[in-house]
Structure 1
Amino acid sequence: MLDLKVLTQAVGDLEEEDVLDLLNEFVETNPTEADAQEAVVACQGGMAIVGDLFEKGEYFVGDLIFAGELLTEAINLLKPVLGNQENAVAGTIILGTVHGDLHDIGKNIFKSMSEAAGFEVVDLGIDVAPEVFVEKAKECNPMIIGMSGVLTLAIDSMKETVDALKAAGIDAKVIIGGNPVTKESCEFVGADKFTTNAAEGVKICQAWA
């Protein structure tokens, strides 16, 4: 029988071998889909620990990236048991680093953590022009649009993108993230929320879902 608390702690401690051993043994017991969903929730609980430790300065960016990869691995192990998960998608997020900015570490961490939290993420990559966000939003009808940027100039690009989305009548929540974003820049851009922490960003999105 899988001890969910042990699994949560193993994910939180980034103990890859322990997590995979626990899940492999669990899958061999032919668990029900409901049991497998509980295991996913336990893994997500471990990610919350990772996020908290990152906020406290005990974990670093590399740990966040590793945690996202570990969670993806865990979900992939459970996928055969989870069956058809189409109905379990928390929502679609369109994500991209805005025009003029080529940084993607923060975006990639947020993507991994969002997917692990049950979101479908459409990653547009880096240096994404406002019209590409608009075009994809029309195509995907996302619940949330996430914009990332590290450079100060990214703030202007974010504003251009939000203005273009509003002009096109796109009705989605907008979250911006990255080093230069602040409460003031969020208001300037016209976004709904901002974050400088991927784990916090996922919590915001979960509150919207």
Structure 2
Amino acid sequence: MSQTLEYIATSVLEGNIEGITKVIQKALDEGLTADAILQKGLIVGMTEVGKRFKAASMFIPEVLRSAKSMHAGQELLRPLLAEKKAMRVGKIVIGTVAGDMHDIGKNLVGMMCEGAGFEVVDLGFDLSPDAFTEAIKVHRPDVVGMSAMLTTTMRSMGQTIQAIKQAGLRDSVKVMVGGAPVDAEFATRIGADGYGHNAIAGAELARTLIHGN
């Protein structure tokens, strides 16, 4: 790995939001491709963030800052990545279910999935089952992620999975769920493919659901 790519990975790890665009521009000026910067710089940094979070040596505020740093870097690279059609590990559609206006946790999952190499389509919050099914038709994702932060909105997850089935789309996507009141038993009961107990776990689960490791 070049020293510049190491600086990019370190900037993500340290949550250097202000400095990461400068070092990415330096990498581009040196002739490094946008895909190399993404895969060998940004994603390497976020992978280390995930390891440290699991080991309890990083905490949510630090992870959020690292994720924002990653996002700032991706925004600079996005036009170049689109132009070159850089390889992605998959596509995920995420959103908070009907009746629920919470989106901080969902946003963090999206950032972590981007950090893991996914193309992320964030639908927002308070989404009806039909909104999810239409998004599957339009975006053709590999994974659909649903968030609920209230016990009163958890039932919308099951309703959404039923709507996906009724639309004939269930076999084309993996479904994962998460949120404060949700657990693995509930995920199994409503027919989801998996449950992520936090943002790091959600990103790892998304990768596992489509790649098996």
TM norm. shorter chain > 0.5: yes
Structure 1 outlier segments of 4+, above 4 Å: 79-83
User: Contact conserved, 1:27 with 1:78, CA < 8 A, in 2?
Assistant: no
Give me the whole-angstrom Cα distance separating, in 2, the residues matched to 1:24 and 1:78: 9
The residue type equivalent to 2:120 in the other structure is: V
For residues 79-122 of structure 1, the C-alpha deviation after alignment (integer angstroms, 9 at most, x for no partner) is 46556243523332221101121110011111122234332222
The answer for the alignment partner of 2:185 in structure 1 is: 184
The answer for the alignment partner of 2:3 in structure 1 is: 2
Give me the whole-angstrom Cα distance separating, in 2, the residues matched to 1:44 and 1:87: 14
Give me the whole-angstrom Cα distance separating, in 1, the residues matched to 2:64 and 2:29: 28
User: Contact conserved, 2:178 with 2:195, CA < 8 A, in 1?
Assistant: yes
Q: Does 1:12 align with 2:17?
A: no
Judged with a 3 Å threshold, the aligned counterparts in structure 2 of structure 1 residues 78 and 100 are, in CA distance, closer, same or farther, namely closer
SS at match of 1:176: strand
Q: Which runs of 5+ in 2 are unaligned?
A: none
Alignment map for 1:13-92 (pairs within 5 Å): 13-31=14-32, 33=33, 36-41=34-39, 42-79=41-78, 82=81, 84-86=83-85, 88-92=87-91
Q: CA deviation at 1:7?
A: 3.2
Q: Which runs of 5+ in 1 are unaligned?
A: none
Alignment map for 1:59-138 (pairs within 5 Å): 59-79=58-78, 82=81, 84-86=83-85, 88-138=87-137
Give me the whole-angstrom Cα distance separating, in 2, the residues matched to 1:114 and 1:176: 14
Judged with a 3 Å threshold, the aligned counterparts in structure 2 of structure 1 residues 113 and 85 are, in CA distance, closer, same or farther, namely farther
TM-score by length of 2: 0.84
Higher mean alpha-carbon deviation, 78-87 vs 89-98, is at 78-87
| Backbone CA RMSD of aligned residues | 2.3
Pairs aligned (count): 206
Q: Does 1:169 align with 2:162?
A: no
The residue type equivalent to 1:169 in the other structure is: G
SS at match of 1:67: helix
SS at match of 2:35: helix
The residue type equivalent to 1:93 in the other structure is: I
Give me the whole-angstrom Cα distance separating, in 1, the residues matched to 2:90 and 2:123: 17
For residues 34-76 of structure 1, the C-alpha deviation after alignment (integer angstroms, 9 at most, x for no partner) is xx42321221121122223333444333333322221122123
SS at match of 2:119: strand
TM-score by length of 1: 0.85
For residues 96-150 of structure 1, the C-alpha deviation after alignment (integer angstroms, 9 at most, x for no partner) is 1011211100111111222343322222211111121112212222211100011
Q: CA deviation at 1:193?
A: 0.8
Give me the whole-angstrom Cα distance separating, in 2, the residues matched to 1:59 and 1:20: 23
